[in-house]
Amino acid sequence: MQTVATDVLVIGGGATGVGCLRDLAIRGMRAILVEKGDLTHGTTGRYHGLLHSGGRYVVKDPQSATECARENAILRRIMPHCLEDSGGFFVTTPWDDPDYADRFLAACHATGVAAQEIPVAEALYREPALNPRLSRVIEVADGAADSFLAAHANVASAREYGASALTYHHVVELLHVDDRVVGALVEDLRSGELKRIEAAWTINAAGAWAGRVAALAGVTVTVTAGKGTMVAMNHRMVNTVINRCKMPSDGDIIVPIRTVAVIGTTDTPVPNPDVYAIEPEEITFMLEEGAKLIPGFASYRALRAWAGVRPLYQEEPRLADGLRDAENRDISRAYKLLDHERRDGVSGLISIVGGKWTTYRLMAQETVDRVAQRLGNNRPCRTHAEMLPPPADEKPPTGGDASRFFWLGKPLADVERAADYGDLICECELVTREQVQAAIDGGAANLDDIRRDVRVGMGPCQGGWCIYRTTALLFERIANAHDGDATRFAAAIRNSNAALLHFLQERWKGVQPVLWGDQLRQARLDELIYVGVLGVQRLGDLAESGDAVVTDHPAIATERLE
């Protein structure tokens, strides 16, 4: 068994975990991160992509509002290439209390959230698709965030300072010496190899799974998994984040993300963060609520529905019969740092729970402050001042302005500047062959990893035109590395086929809840391509019969297309 020694072990490859890794490395501490899937595999890769101004929380959760407002300004400075400066509107519809806007504005001023009321006519001029019956509009500093790119940028920065990040490494056991956690035993899910990681301190940043990690140390951390369902529409009908000006509720926000718009979100407690369903009534409700903001909203094509789980921390255990939805929204979105030595008498372990994506850097800073104090490291945090690196394949912006935010036309401008028209793999998201190959060379182990890295398959066709091309590139990269070894070449074929099946199955899960109208036609076209022409259902038959198509990659599930 391989044994590795480090100062700090970070468990969890979401936003907070990678933020901790970067902060630790910049301060000169040796650090290793382990994640059971790919980076952002959990909640970080499954939210609506909002850079919070703090507006949603000013009345109900002022602490979170202030934290979001402060971190919003910092993130705009250190990672502009991961953000779109869309701005945001809080609007009063005919279904909302018009007096709430005064309460909202007062709370914004009290919490430090920048906000100003603008004429309804100005808002409608800037966003013609909005409901013309709006009575009030308040502008805030919301934005759209690429959480995938931000996570990779944090890890790239951490590696520059000597840290390591191990994906597809599952924590099997926390190592103890008396009442002290001294590291973890982890399993490499790709090879089955066990590794012993010895660490002076362990940070539990596992989000909705933090309770499970804490239980390995014999301590209780009560995290409520709050399921949030979202729907991506095929058209970016607004360029500004649109919120209902009322107390936070379901289906009251629309976020423009790249070429689509996302409406969300529900908030339903689920007992298991790995097992939950998307209910038809959730989709119907959100489309109906969307029509209150944008008339005719439901007539647009719904591309996909998905859900993530919020890691909501509670000081007290949940009631035996669970929480109602309304009660779930009453749980604060603020974060909590749990020092288990002080709290539970178990040293060497710290848990960071709760919070929002927008506050991930602040959460990491406070966590690392505590660890650094215990290790006698007095170097100050610098993550608020050092810019995150752009992707390795990033083209320098026109005019050399490295601080520019992402803008909608940027992918097309990059393609035009490089004359990469003939190398497009994904026409929807304008992803080139070079970008896909860079993702594979950078460690993407399957098609879903590549999707998170470069957004292949996330556009209107949901992979219909690009995934067979991407699978071919994945196979070529794997096969070329085998250098003529027939056995390993055959394994490359099996693994590539399994990756294709897995991706199609995962896309199908998100498409199935919205199968009507034009989306049903798109799904039928995709079926004709993959089943009628490529015969992927035969790959499923072979996998079930135990013949050729089985995966050597335990992180990939081989599932039959239903």
DSSP annotation string for 226-276: EEEEEEEESS---SSEEEESSS--TT-EEEEETTEEEEE---EEES-TT--
Alpha helices (H) in 14-135, listed in sequence order: 15-26, 62-78, 100-111, 120-126
Domains and CATH numbers, the chain: 80-144+225-315 (3.30.9.10), 409-544 (no CATH)
- Report which of 88, 97, 462, 89 is spatially closest to residue 303, judged by C-alpha positions: 462
- Which pLDDT value is given to residue 218? 95
Please report where in the chains the tokens 């036609």 appear, as a residue: 521
- Which pLDDT value is given to residue 402? 47
Bridging pattern class, strands 241-244 and 88-92 = parallel
- Report which of 534, 517, 506, 432 is spatially closest to residue 473, judged by C-alpha positions: 432
Strand partners, 136: 92
Work out the angle between the directed axes of helices 100-111 and 62-78 (0-180°, nearest 10): 60
How far is it, in rounded angstroms, from Cα 188 to Cα 190? 5
Bridging pattern class, strands 194-204 and 349-354 = parallel
- Which pLDDT value is given to residue 420? 84
Alpha helices (H) in 358-432, listed in sequence order: 360-375, 410-418
Q: How many other C-beta atoms are found inside a 10 Å radius of the C-beta of residue 134?
A: 20
pTM comes to: 0.90
How far is it, in rounded angstroms, from Cα 349 to Cα 10? 10
How far is it, in rounded angstroms, from Cα 462 to Cα 459? 5
- Which pLDDT value is given to residue 330? 54
How far is it, in rounded angstroms, from Cα 260 to Cα 186? 38
Q: Measure CA 53 to chain center.
A: 18
- Which pLDDT value is given to residue 493? 84
Structure tokens at 356: 């929002």
- Which pLDDT value is given to residue 394? 64
Residues of the chain below pLDDT 70: 316-333, 392-403, 481-484, 540-562
- Which pLDDT value is given to residue 448? 93
How far is it, in rounded angstroms, from Cα 379 to Cα 382? 9
- Which pLDDT value is given to residue 418? 86
- Which pLDDT value is given to residue 62? 94
- Which pLDDT value is given to residue 492? 82
Q: How many other C-beta atoms are found inside a 10 Å radius of the C-beta of residue 327?
A: 14
- Report which of 69, 72, 511 is spatially closest to residue 303, judged by C-alpha positions: 511
Burial class (CB in 10 A: 0-12, 13-18, 19+), 460: buried
CA-based angle 13:14:18, to the nearest 5? 65
- Which pLDDT value is given to residue 555? 37
How far is it, in rounded angstroms, from Cα 540 to Cα 544? 6
* Order of strands, sheet of 143-145, starting from the edge strand that comes earlier in the sequence: 50-51, 143-145, 83-84
Amino acid at 534: L
- Report which of 516, 428, 502 is spatially closest to residue 465, judged by C-alpha positions: 428
CB-based contact 65:58 (threshold 8 Å)? yes
Strand partners, 139: 89, 116
Q: Measure CA 110 to chain center.
A: 30
- Which pLDDT value is given to residue 399? 44
Bridging pattern class, strands 223-233 and 115-118 = unpaired
CB-based contact 4:196 (threshold 8 Å)? yes
Burial class (CB in 10 A: 0-12, 13-18, 19+), 222: middle
Write the DSSP symbol of residue 530. I
CB-based contact 98:135 (threshold 8 Å)? yes
Write the DSSP symbol of residue 297. G
3-state helix, strand, coil in the chain (%, to 5): 40, 20, 35
Burial class (CB in 10 A: 0-12, 13-18, 19+), 127: buried
Write the DSSP symbol of residue 4. E
Q: How far is CA 476 from CA 25, 342, 501, in A?
A: 35, 53, 17
CB-based contact 250:266 (threshold 8 Å)? yes
Amino acid at 467: I
CB-based contact 178:345 (threshold 8 Å)? no
Structure tokens at 419: 């004359």
